[in-house]
Structure 1
Amino acid sequence: MIQSLSCYRIFYTVAKTGNISKAAKELYISQPAISKSIQKLEESMNCELFRRSSRGVSLTEEGELLYSHVKVAFETLALGEDRLRNSIELGVGHLKIGVSSTLCKYMLLPYLKEFIKLYPHINISITCQSTNDTLKLLEENKIDVGLIGKPESLKNIDFYYLAEIKDIFVATKDYLRNLKARGVKEDRILQSSTIMLLDKNNMTRQYIDDYLQENHIVVQDSIDISSMDLLIEFAKISVGVACVIREFVKKELADGSLIEIPLGFPIHKREVGFAYKKSVKPSKSLELFVDFYKSHELLHS
């Protein structure tokens, strides 16, 4: 572009008003400055853009050609400004969240339900992955925030604690009754059962594998299941003993459809919370979400 944007704005305003005096008032600059800018533009284009008369100015054929393009450009800029202003006023934004399918159902959805009521113009994208995959997406800046089980090392991550969760083993009364009929003692249930666990890429599974190894519990028969919901459902039809999160089977434990198996060595509780990168400047949408869940916890604590 040969001329500056301000020069074209002057040309556009003069052409639109058809009068240098009116253009000067609209642009808050002097008439001589307007005339000088137009002269400079005509010299650079090597043609006359306006015809001058006592009644004002009118575009030449060359001026009409240039104006047809400049008009589109400034109308597009004005539209962009209006949309940006409207976006800011409405709070339009985009928030990308990473979470495991289990935590998404039982912990994230209640937060999102209230957040969306407050900020309906923020678009939400959710990537359901394991905690390990969520941490990787955070590192690669592919998501803004993750709902995860607290990892051993936080590195470049800010972690905001939400709750503790406890892993337990559960089965139906019928399954435990059948084990007892086969002579299986209570302290040998895990070694003698079909144990159902989340797949090996899941942080919960890795945590339970460590627990079993540390306590010298050798599982003879196991099934890998892709989701916590399926673990619960398989356990309820007596396929085997499932490792689940206590907080997510409160209903089943209360109505007796699942029974918690007592352990000689308790499984330590784990922390769950929101995580985001320290080194990345948060977007407005992320700032609103962070403020929301922090204030939400204060109100409910």
Structure 2
Amino acid sequence: MESNLSLYKIFYTVASTGNISRSAEKLYISQPAISKSIGRLEENLKATLFIRNSRGVTLTDEGKVLYSHLKTAFEAIAAGEENLKHISDLGIGHIRIGVSATLGKYMLLPYLKDFVLRYPHIKITIKCQSTVHTLSMLEHNEIDIGLIGKSDSIKNLELFPLGEIEDVFVATSSYLENLELREGSSKSDFFKSGNLMLLDEENLTRSYIDSYFLKHHIETHHILEISDMDLLIEFARIGLGIACVIKEFVTDDISAGTLMELPLPAPIKKREICFAWSSKTALSQSAKTFLEFCRA
């Protein structure tokens, strides 16, 4: 751009009013400053833009050409500013959140329920997938925020902890009684003789549990892999086997006696659940609003 925007703004104002003194009042600058700026612009463009007379100024043919283009440009700027003000006033925005189906149901949903009431003009897109895929999408900037279980392998992410979860093994009392009758095993031997229902190997929870087995030299013989925590819980409820589930999601079942928590050789270390976002990418205002809402 040959001349800076302020010179074009002055030219546009003078051309619109047809009068230097009125333009000076509108722009809060002196008349000599306006005349000097017009002179600089004419010098830069090597064209005469105004014809000056006792009643004010009129555009030359060259001035009319420039004005027609600037009119479109400044009207577009004004429309853009008005649109941004409208977005700001209504709180319009968009948030992309990645979360597993289980964490989405049990942990994200309570936050969203109140958030959408307070911020109805923020569009929310939910990507339901495993934590592994959520981490990949965060890395490639395909989502703004992920709801994940914290692990030592997480890098280049900012984290906002929501609380802890505990992994436990549960089954119905009838399944355990039948297992003891059939296999002659006690509750403490269920790893070897029971039908263990675990999340599939794409899930970080499964990796966490496999590490627990390895650390405590636990052998497993019968494993049924399932991709969804809700299905694990439902299968446990109907007596299909022994499920590794998140305790906070079956508290009512344990209290009611629908499911029994089985003893372990050592407790499984609790895990933190966090909102996560990339430390390399600036959060949108809508994403910041969501996180501030959740912190409150």
- Give the TM-score of the pair, scaled to structure 1: 0.82
Matched, 1:227 2:228: yes
**2:11 corresponding residue in structure 1:** 11
Superposed displacement of residue 16, structure 1: 1.2
Structure 1: which amino acid aligns with 2:215? E
CA-based RMSD: 2.9
**2:104 corresponding residue in structure 1:** 104
**2:190 corresponding residue in structure 1:** 189
**1:23 corresponding residue in structure 2:** 23
- Which stretch of the first structure deviates more once superposed, 67-76 or 257-266? 257-266
Aligned length: 295
Structure 2: which amino acid aligns with 1:104? G
Counterparts of 1:21 and 1:193, CA distance in 2: 92
Structure 2: which amino acid aligns with 1:221? H
Counterparts of 1:140 and 1:149, CA distance in 2: 19
* Contact 2:139/2:278, CA 8 A, preserved across alignment: yes
Structure 2: which amino acid aligns with 1:242? A
Superposed displacement of residue 76, structure 1: 0.8
**2:79 corresponding residue in structure 1:** 79
**1:171 corresponding residue in structure 2:** 171
Specify whether residues 46 and 160 from structure 1 end up closer, same or farther in structure 2 by C-alpha distance, changes over 3 A only: closer
User: SS of the counterpart of 1:22?
Assistant: helix
User: SS of the counterpart of 1:273?
Assistant: strand
* Contact 1:170/1:259, CA 8 A, preserved across alignment: yes
Structure 2: which amino acid aligns with 1:18? G
Structure 2: which amino acid aligns with 1:86? H
Superposed displacement of residue 282, structure 1: 4.9
Structure 1: which amino acid aligns with 2:203? N
Q: Percent identity?
A: 55
Deviations 1:238-267 (A, max 9, x none): 332221111112333344443333334433
Deviations 1:90-149 (A, max 9, x none): 444444433322212111111222233333444434333433444444455554443222
* Contact 1:122/1:285, CA 8 A, preserved across alignment: yes
Structure 2 stretches lacking a partner, 5+ long: none
**2:211 corresponding residue in structure 1:** 210
Counterparts of 2:282 and 2:32, CA distance in 1: 46
Residues 48-87 of structure 1 mapped to structure 2, 5 A cutoff:
48-87=48-87
Specify whether residues 44 and 149 from structure 1 end up closer, same or farther in structure 2 by C-alpha distance, changes over 3 A only: closer
User: SS of the counterpart of 2:146?
Assistant: strand
* Contact 1:131/1:149, CA 8 A, preserved across alignment: yes
**1:294 corresponding residue in structure 2:** 295
User: SS of the counterpart of 1:244?
Assistant: strand
**2:243 corresponding residue in structure 1:** 242
Counterparts of 1:134 and 1:54, CA distance in 2: 70
Counterparts of 2:227 and 2:3, CA distance in 1: 62
Deviations 1:149-204 (A, max 9, x none): 22135655444432221212223344334323313422332322322211112121
- Which stretch of the first structure deviates more once superposed, 65-74 or 28-37? 28-37
* Contact 2:185/2:193, CA 8 A, preserved across alignment: no
Deviations 1:19-49 (A, max 9, x none): 2221121112222332333344344445443
Structure 2: which amino acid aligns with 1:85? K
Structure 1 stretches lacking a partner, 5+ long: 296-301
* Contact 1:184/1:192, CA 8 A, preserved across alignment: no
- Which stretch of the first structure deviates more once superposed, 244-253 or 157-166? 157-166
Deviations 1:61-87 (A, max 9, x none): 433332221101001111222223333
Counterparts of 1:152 and 1:39, CA distance in 2: 65
**1:298 corresponding residue in structure 2:** none
User: SS of the counterpart of 1:182?
Assistant: helix
Specify whether residues 266 and 47 from structure 1 end up closer, same or farther in structure 2 by C-alpha distance, changes over 3 A only: closer
Counterparts of 1:275 and 1:44, CA distance in 2: 52
Structure 1: which amino acid aligns with 2:221? Q
User: SS of the counterpart of 1:271?
Assistant: strand
* Contact 2:156/2:279, CA 8 A, preserved across alignment: yes
- Which stretch of the first structure deviates more once superposed, 17-26 or 68-77? 17-26
Counterparts of 1:48 and 1:277, CA distance in 2: 53
**1:299 corresponding residue in structure 2:** none
* Contact 2:195/2:223, CA 8 A, preserved across alignment: yes
